[in-house]
Chains A and B, each alone.
Chain A
Amino acid sequence: MTLHLLNKSPQSMSLYSNMLASLSDNDSILLIEDGAYGALSAHNKIFKSLPDTVSLFVLRADTEARGLSERVSALFEVIDDNQFVELTCQNVKVVSWY
């Protein structure tokens, strides 16, 4: 169980590829900062081949700031800072992709 944090937009595609290549079952991905743009429905294809056991999250403050509140793909659960902390505790380790 690893939480993967990613903070760049999908323009940094290689960062996404590297992260996706490093996933195990039951890992979680949380998009933060410019990573929030990756939660736009237009980018669903990046995440569509992932197994169902991988959970996708995006940080509320970062989506709101960027005008993404109404535009987040249904693949993602929008979470607040407290849930971010919980998620960090639930996972065995955290890997930051930046």
Chain B
Amino acid sequence: MSDKKSILIINQSAPYGSNKARESLDVALTCAIFEMPVSLLFIGDGVLQLLNGQQPEALQTKKHEAMLTALPMYDIDCLYVTSSDLKQHGLQSEDLAVPVKIVEQKQIASLIQQHDTVLTY
């Protein structure tokens, strides 16, 4: 097992409206390059980052969905999303661009406990 510190990144921002979602994944990729175990948790509006079918060409900005699909190439395979927040937006796992583990809200606390460092975006 790696002796590197594990990091949990909590995403609570929708993409495109601010840079937060992008910054979050930048940090995730950078940590992964340094072989830190990275997990991503999407809660609140953060679940909206995961929607498939994003077409941001008219905004002349990079496609958030493309960056999400790159995560496995960086060995980031632990993506969590809360079922209540998916439901809040009327979404199901078929609406999502990448495979995620769906968790209950009460599991957030244990995810925080399981990681050495926690960042929010």
Closest-CB distance, B13 to chain A (whole angstroms): 10
Interface of A: prevailing SS: mixed
Closest to B106 in A: A21
Number of A-B contacts (CB under 8 A): 38
Residue interface mask B1-30, A partner, CB < 8 A = 1: 000000000101000000000000000000
Q: Which residues of A contact B10 (CB under 8 A)?
A: 18, 22, 95
Let me know if B12 and A14 touch, CB within 8 A: yes
Let me know if A24 and B113 touch, CB within 8 A: yes
Let me know if A24 and B109 touch, CB within 8 A: yes
Closest-CB distance, B48 to chain A (whole angstroms): 12
Closest-CB distance, B118 to chain A (whole angstroms): 5
C-alpha spacing A2/B117, complex, angstroms? 11
Q: Which B66-121 residues have a C-beta within 8 angstroms of A?
A: 82, 105, 108-110, 112-113, 116-120
Q: Does B45 contact A (CB under 8 A)?
A: yes
C-alpha spacing A95/B115, complex, angstroms? 12
Across the interface, B44 reaches (CB within 8 A) one of A18, A24, A98, namely A18
Q: Which residues of A contact B112 (CB under 8 A)?
A: 2, 22, 24, 93, 95
Let me know if A14 and B109 touch, CB within 8 A: no
C-alpha spacing A17/B82, complex, angstroms? 13
Q: Does A87 contact B (CB under 8 A)?
A: no
Binding site for B on A (CB under 8 A): 2, 14-15, 17-18, 21-24, 93, 95-98
Binding site for A on B (CB under 8 A): 10, 12, 43-45, 82, 105, 108-110, 112-113, 116-120
